[in-house]
Homo-oligomer: A and B are copies of this chain.
């Protein structure tokens, strides 16, 4: 079993992530073999396991050493929750591909995709229920999951909304992405009984990582070409998700963008290119990158404040690597 090359430099973490993946594989074994196989293939296809990794790293800052098996189960639960939302996102976006594989919905249809996502929510819930003896943890998980879904519903509400503000965009990506990063970091610190100070710092670090991560992902949709991303570009624009580069470029030039956006899903390839050119003209990408960098800097500053441990270096290292990608 292999994990993403990102982890090669950290043998202990790599070992833990391999164990986490084993838990994930086992947790989706059901009598419906098609689904089991599809999910295992998906797990194998190179997700970075970022949320488990952050959870595991932050679980080393406490006084109480968390039993390894328990740590792997909680780490797995976080990734399973993430995959559940991906499977459902692919229905919404009608995405043909995910991680260079056909998406569950493209292979089995939207019906199976709906239930597969639901099934993963139950797996998450089950993994969690069987690995904690803290009601506070259960309650925090429930809260966190709720915020993620409210974030997804925000996104639906904001679709094709040409008046979308930076504030609305932030609120949305906070729920959709930053919440789970924040929670993964916090849960690691909390589970291992680290100081309140470390728990709070972990939370803020996770939030900043999540925000930077999502903004950079949204930038990629305008920057990347099909060949280097293995996913089609302009997906967000075509689907009516107006993200930061567009929002910032549009701020003072709304009238120039309006005729394009009014066409909603009917934008031709040439028109999409023209929108991209407009975004370039008004420096939407540069401005969005500057904001992402601010979040990244805050995350890294937070990490510097953590107590000195081997894991602190790793956290700094991977966060810097992750958030400077393609720069």
Contact = CB atoms under 8 A, between A and B. Distances in A.
Interface of A: 30-32, 34-35, 85, 88, 91-92, 110-112, 114-119, 121-123, 125-126, 128-130, 133, 135, 138-139, 141-143, 145-146, 148-150, 152-154, 156-157
A108 to B, nearest CB: 8
Contacts of A112: 153, 156
A122 B145 contact: yes
Nearest to A145: B122
Contacts of A149: 115, 118-119, 121-122
B118 A142 contact: no
Contacts of A139: 126, 129-130
Given A135-B129, A142-B130, A116 B153 contact: yes
The A contact surface, by secondary structure, is helix
Contacts of A157: 32, 34
Nearest to A94: B111
A117 B126 CA distance: 18
A195 B154 CA distance: 46
Nearest to A148: B122
A117 B139 CA distance: 20
Contacts of A141: 125, 129
A81 to B, nearest CB: 10
Nearest to A119: B149
Nearest to A113: B114
Contacts of A126: 139, 142-143, 145-146
Given A111-B91, A112-B156, A142-B130, A121 B118 contact: yes
A114 B142 contact: no
A146 B123 contact: yes
7 contacts: A35-B153, A85-B118, A92-B111, A92-B115, A118-B149, A126-B145, A138-B138
A91 B114 CA distance: 8
A91 B110 contact: yes
